[in-house]
């Protein structure tokens, strides 16, 4: 083989290898269902049609996932980490690939392990009717329905913001929102209710012409929320399960009977709804 033919051969081989590597990289980047149990359904047309989930099924932006009773699934998101969906849950995977990643939980319970450190400027949020949780690398869980949201942080830090309408006027909305944000650190949890949101919005509407009063109200509610933070007694179990170190993937061991009610109104167990 002369040098010219050899050169063409090398270029061809390198080119094919590059194309294959790009293809494999693209395939590896797909968000896929790693495992599931029971009845798990996916909608790719905003809930008009539902199809049964299957192993290695690709999940894309805007897909809606729902699970029935005693059903659960695990989704691997290469750019983020592990996303587990518990029974009787419906969640929309609004954006899993962009700069501002977001999942909207309509009802039910989810557990998330953000394994990939987000780059500067990137965000990952979990939104419910009641609140928005923002994280930057952590293990946490969210339980939500139309009346309340409970967030449990097992590792790292979660920043919670009530999902309320703040009358900003000429003021900086981001600045006002920052006054209401609450940081939940490892082994802690908080519950926020829709009733509390309505009360806050009523106060804000009455004071909307007085920005100084609006800020005072936000600070007062922030102080109240800080007082609502409590110990999450079984956070280590959540860490083990979402790190792949648990026994059999039974996330329900995260909570036990001693964590059902701490005497302050308690909520339904969060993790007993996951993989039960």
3-state SS string over the chain? CCHHHHHHHHHHHHHHHHHHHHHHHHHHCCEEEEEEECCEEEECCCCCCCEECCCCCEECCCEEEEECCCCEEEEEECCCEEEEECCCCEEEEEECCCCEEEEEEEEEEEEEEECCCCCCCCEEEEECCCEEEEECCCEEEEEECCCEEEEEEEECEEEEEECCCCCCCCCCHHHHHHHHCEEEECCEEEEEEHHHHHHHHHHHHHCCCCHHHHHHHHHHHHHHHHHHCEECCCHHHHHHHHCCCCCCCCHHHHCCHHHCCCCCCCCCCCHHHCCC
pLDDT tens across 86-113, in order?
999 999 999 888 788 899 999 999 999 9
Tokens 């109240």 found at: 224
pLDDT confidence tier of residue 264, bands split at 50, 70 and 90: very low
pLDDT band of 119, cuts 50, 70, 90: confident
**Which residues fall within 8 angstroms of residue 274, CB to CB, at 6 or more apart?**
72, 84, 86, 87, 109, 110, 111, 141, 251, 252, 254
Report the chain's terminal Cα–Cα distance, integer Å.
65
Domain range enclosing 29: 3-273
- Percentage with pLDDT > 90 across the chain: 59
Q: What does the mean pLDDT of the chain come to?
A: 81
pLDDT of residue 242: 61
Average pLDDT in the 144-163 region? 94
pLDDT tens-digit map of 65-77: 999 999 999 999 9
Q: Is the dihedral of CA 218, 109, 144, 50 positive or negative?
A: positive
Distance from C-alpha of 155 to C-alpha of 139, rounded to nearest angstrom: 5
Q: What pLDDT score does 17 carry? A: 44
Is pLDDT above 80 for 44?
yes
pLDDT, tens digit, for every residue of 195-234? Answer: 999 999 999 999 999 999 999 999 999 999 999 999 987 6
Average pLDDT of the residues in 112-135: 90
Structurally, the chain folds into a number of domains equal to 1
Q: Is the pLDDT of residue 120 over 90?
A: no
**CATH code, domain with 162:** 2.60.120.1440
């Amino acid at each position: 083989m002369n040098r010219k033919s050899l050169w063409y051969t090398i270029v061809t081989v390198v080119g094919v290898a590059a194309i294959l590597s790009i293809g494999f990289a693209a395939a590896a980047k797909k968000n896929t269902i790693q495992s599931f149990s029971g009845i798990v359904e996916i909608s790719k047309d905003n809930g008009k049609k539902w199809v049964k989930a299957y192993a290695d099924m690709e999940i894309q932006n805007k897909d809606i996932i729902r699970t029935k009773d005693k059903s659960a699934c695990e989704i691997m998101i290469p750019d983020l980490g592990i996303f587990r969906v518990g029974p009787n849950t419906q969640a929309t995977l609004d954006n899993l690939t962009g700069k501002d990643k977001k999942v909207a939980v309509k009802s039910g319970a989810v557990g998330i392990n953000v394994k990939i450190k987000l780059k500067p400027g990137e965000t990952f949020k979990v939104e419910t009717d009641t609140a928005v949780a923002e994280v930057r690398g952590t293990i946490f869980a969210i339980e939500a329905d139309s009346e309340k949201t409970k967030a449990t942080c097992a590792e790292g830090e979660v920043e919670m913001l009530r999902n309320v309408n703040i009358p900003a006027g000429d003021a900086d909305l981001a600045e006002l929102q920052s006054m209401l944000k609450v940081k939940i650190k490892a082994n802690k949890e908080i519950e926020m209710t829709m009733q509390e949101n309505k009360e806050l919005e009523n106060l804000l509407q009455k004071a909307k012409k007085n920005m100084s009063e609006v800020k005072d109200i936000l600070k007062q509610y922030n102080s109240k929320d800080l007082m609502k933070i409590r110990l999450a007694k079984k956070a280590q179990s959540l860490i083990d399960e979402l790190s792949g170190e648990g026994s059999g993937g039974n996330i329900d061991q995260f909570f036990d009977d001693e964590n059902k009610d701490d005497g302050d109104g308690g909520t339904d167990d969060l993790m007993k709804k996951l993989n039960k």
